[in-house]
A = this chain, B = another copy of it.
Amino acid sequence: MNRLAEIAKLAGVSAATVSRTLNRPELVAERTRVRVMNAVQATGFRPNELARSLRQQGSRSIGLVVTDLNPFHATLVKAVQDTAEQNDLNVILFTSDDSESREREALLTLRSHMPQGLILIPTAHTRQHQKLLQGLTVVELDRESGLTGTHTVQAQNRQGALEAVRHLTALGHRNIGAIFGQLHISTARARFEGYVQALQEAGIAYDETLVRYGNDLEASGRAAALSLLAEAARRPTALFVSNHEMTVGAIIALRSLNLKIPRDLSLASFDDSRLMLLHEPPISVVAQPTYELGKRACEVLVRALEGGEPQHLRLEAPFIPRGSTAPP
């Protein structure tokens, strides 16, 4: 006997009535409703979500695919999770590690769970997985893949980078090194454009020997910083690093070279954290509203599920000058 039928027997009604009481109580007579609810309370009954989702052709779950699980992503996940819970949704989490196969696997697995929708940090491979997104409400978070029909929630990456590098040029820096992610990732591209624009505004020629590209992980930031400081024809007096993990790598590199911030090199970076704040000196950063990004992504998804046009949110990412940036 299934659980629902048990309750039904206990309350002396049919299974359908129990189901109705739980899902559309207004259709049930008060007397009956009370009787059923008592039985439900007494047994601690919860309908089987699998059966319910199967029957309803859709679950109360949403997918969340992140590219990694560093502190930035953890905050995003927490925000999505909290917001989902408020909307009676639960989250199936995947990590793609920016890998094509893991992303595909995540999307395939997700689909087989009949999710309501999907919040996704897209990767370079997302476009080729377009078919797997068919029929799903998709919110792209943090980055954008260029796919049409999806919603997007991201920071004002270009503007943030622009302000950071403007700050450096205003301090008098002319040789400004920079480390970005791969330029086919929208965030890296936007931050790169902000960097270039700030140079232009200051009348500084763009010099490709001052720029390196990593993969957003710490090790690549370290390698990029070492390469930049060892090889650059003109040694930079300031460094702009476009994500948190690579900044950590850069800081480690600077220490190994025994360079003092900001005396030997000014450092400005993307993504605030307590590490950046407690560093000596504190690091000047572009502060993305991380929790807010995740929260809004989930809210956009919820609204989208109720129907509506694609939404495209861009949250402000203010630059916060701190002790790591000084005149050359």
**Nearest-Cβ distance from residue A69 to partner chain B, whole angstroms:** 4
Chain A residues 228-253 with CB under 8 Å of chain B are 248, 251-252
Q: Which A residues contact B (CB, under 8 angstroms)? A: 44, 46-51, 53-54, 59, 68-71, 73-75, 77-78, 81-82, 85, 90-95, 102, 105, 108-109, 111-114, 131, 218, 248, 251-252, 274-275, 278-280
User: A95 is contacted by which of B51, B59, B81, B114 (Cβ under 8 Å)?
Assistant: B81
In the bound complex, how far is the Cα of B91 from the Cα of A136, in angstroms? Answer: 20
Contact A93 B95 (CB under 8 A): no
Asked if A54 meets B46 with Cβ closer than 8 Å, knowing A75-B69, A90-B109, A274-B275, the reply is no
Asked if A95 meets B78 with Cβ closer than 8 Å, knowing A46-B112, A112-B49, A114-B50, the reply is yes
Contact A74 B81 (CB under 8 A): no
User: A114 is contacted by which of B48, B82, B92, B251 (Cβ under 8 Å)?
Assistant: B48
In the bound complex, how far is the Cα of B102 from the Cα of A70, in angstroms? Answer: 24
Q: Nearest chain-B residue to A131 (Cβ)?
A: B44
**Nearest-Cβ distance from residue A89 to partner chain B, whole angstroms:** 10
In the bound complex, how far is the Cα of B53 from the Cα of A93, in angstroms? Answer: 19
In the bound complex, how far is the Cα of B94 from the Cα of A279, in angstroms? Answer: 32
In the bound complex, how far is the Cα of B69 from the Cα of A71, in angstroms? Answer: 9
Q: Nearest chain-B residue to A88 (Cβ)?
A: B109
Q: Nearest chain-B residue to A112 (Cβ)?
A: B49
**Nearest-Cβ distance from residue A133 to partner chain B, whole angstroms:** 13
Closest 6 CB pairs of A and B: A74-B74, A280-B280, A69-B78, A49-B112, A275-B275, A50-B54
Q: Nearest chain-B residue to A276 (Cβ)?
A: B275
Asked if A251 meets B275 with Cβ closer than 8 Å, knowing A50-B113, A81-B93, the reply is no
In the bound complex, how far is the Cα of B56 from the Cα of A120, in angstroms? Answer: 30
Contact B81 A70 (CB under 8 A): no
In the bound complex, how far is the Cα of B113 from the Cα of A113, in angstroms? Answer: 11
On chain B, the residues within 8 Å of A46 by CB distance are 108-109, 111-112
A-B contact pairs, 19 of them (CB 8 A): A46-B109, A46-B111, A46-B112, A50-B53, A50-B54, A69-B75, A69-B77, A70-B74, A71-B71, A74-B74, A74-B77, A77-B93, A81-B94, A91-B93, A92-B93, A275-B278, A279-B279, A279-B280, A280-B280
**Nearest-Cβ distance from residue A295 to partner chain B, whole angstroms:** 14
In the bound complex, how far is the Cα of B131 from the Cα of A256, in angstroms? Answer: 55
